[in-house]
Amino acid sequence: MEKVLVSACLLGWRVRYDGGAKTLASETLARWQAEGRVVAVCPEVDAGLPTPRAPAEIIGGDGADVLAGAARVVDPSGEHLTEAFVEGAALALRLCRRHAIRVAVLTEHSPSCGSTHIYDGSFSGTRQPGAGITTALLRQQGVQVFGQNDIAAADRALRAL
């Protein structure tokens, strides 16, 4: 049975930067859980960052740029968090390899998990097109990554495997 990687905050785990969750009420997600398909991930917590923690944004690009060394992750005080975010992405990739995961549903807008948009690095709430670091790494390795609002497309991709 094919497994699917899912952001822990979408499963109701209180792992977000503000100590909250972003619980996704979805029949598809509930079915996957009942079938034993779900593997939870929070790249930031898995890399050792605390909950709660300061928000973080990518400066100078998106997740692919961070992986290429051309952009960085910082918090509002300017503290560099790039290393932890890259380590979290690597840990998520290890989970995918361990469970032969080829589909993921991750939290949109996150500097780790965003799949279509992330915040622009100004800490003003402005979004820009781009992917987070974990999403970029997983996609580079052939994992199909979807945001929580595209769970139907993720389900179709999972069924097509």
pLDDT at position 43, please?
A: 98
Q: What is the mean pLDDT of residues 60-72?
A: 98
| Alpha helices, DSSP H, located in the chain | 27-35, 43-46, 63-67, 82-99, 133-140, 151-160
Q: What is the mean pLDDT of residues 32-42?
A: 98
Q: What is the pLDDT of residues 106-138, one digit of tens each?
A: 999 999 999 999 999 999 999 999 999 999 999
The amino acid at 7: S
85, burial (CB in 10 Å: exposed 0-12, middle 13-18, buried 19+): buried
CA-to-CA dists, residue 112 to 33, 73, 115, 132, angstroms: 23, 10, 9, 4
Distance separating alpha carbons of residues 79 and 74, to the nearest angstrom: 5
Whole-angstrom Cα Rg for the chain: 15
Contact 7, 148 (CB under 8 A): yes
Q: What is the pLDDT of residues 74-107, one digit of tens each?
A: 999 999 999 999 999 999 999 999 999 999 999 9
What is the share, in percent, of the chain residues with pLDDT greater than 70? 100
Tokens 């052939």 found at:
142
The domains of the chain are located at: 4-160
Provide the 10 A C-beta neighbour count for residue 35.
12
Provide the 10 A C-beta neighbour count for residue 6.
26
The amino acid at 52: P
